[in-house]
């Protein structure tokens, strides 16, 4: 069964940005990406594909520990208490500088050096 259910899919369709946390040697490291960029590159099963322009520290962190947490949210998705929902997606990630996803990222974003590919294995709703 897919980790990305209908509500998660709606959040990924509507979130303005994503916040991604990796574990660094000195603690958590947070970076961003745009929801629009995710929607341009597409969601491939349980994998999220994003353009990587920089992400040098993120890449270093991922080489030691591939686990990530990603926060997305939208006020226009219904939550349990009213308008507004968000979720934490947990999984593993890597930066791919060659292959299908990297080619896709470079074709859409000429500044990209590759793709940040996140494999989601669980989702936790927040509201």
In angstroms, give the least distance from the CB of 122 to ligand FMN.
Answer: 23
Backbone angles phi, psi at 83, to 5 degrees: -65, 135
Residue 91 or residue 114: which is nearer to ligand FMN going by CB? 114
Environment class of residue 101 by beta-carbon count within 10 Å: exposed (0-12), middle (13-18) or buried (19+)? buried
Q: Does 23 bind ligand FMN (CB under 6 A)?
A: no
Identify the residue among 4, 12, 37, 49 touching ligand FMN (CB under 6 A).
Answer: 37
Which of 2, 28, 39, 54 touches ligand FMN (CB under 6 A)? 54
**Measured between alpha carbons, how far is 83 from 99 in angstroms, rounded to an integer?**
40
How far is residue 99's CA from residue 58's CA, in Å, rounded to a whole number? 20
CB nearer to ligand FMN: pick between 32 and 80: 32
Verify binding: residue 75, ligand FMN, rule CB under 6 A: no
CB 55 within 8 A of CB 94: no
Residue span binding ligand FMN (CB under 6 A) among the ranges 6-14, 50-58, 71-79, 89-97 = 50-58
User: For ligand FMN, which residue of 52, 72, 115, 117 counts as binding (CB under 6 A)?
Assistant: 52
Residues 113, 19, 33, CA angle at the centre, nearest 5°? 35
Name the residue with the smallest CB distance to ligand FMN: 32
The whole-angstrom distance between residue 106's C-alpha and the CA centroid of its chain comes to: 17
Stretch that binds ligand FMN, among 48-56, 65-73, 86-94, 98-106 (CB under 6 A): 48-56
């Amino acid at each position: 069964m897919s980790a990305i259910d209908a509500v998660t899919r709606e959040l990924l369709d509507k979130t303005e940005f994503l916040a991604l946390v990796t574990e660094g040697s000195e603690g958590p490291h947070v970076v961003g990406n745009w929801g629009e960029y995710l929607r341009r590159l597409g969601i491939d099963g349980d994998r999220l594909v994003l353009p990587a322009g920089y992400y040098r520290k993120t890449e270093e962190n991922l080489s030691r520990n591939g686990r990530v947490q990603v926060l997305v949210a939208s006020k226009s998705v219904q939550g349990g208490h009213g308008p507004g929902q968000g979720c934490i997606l947990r999984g593993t990630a890597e930066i791919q500088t060659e292959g299908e996803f990297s080619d896709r990222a470079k074709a859409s974003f000429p500044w990209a050096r590759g793709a940040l590919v996140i494999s989601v294995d669980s989702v936790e709703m927040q509201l």
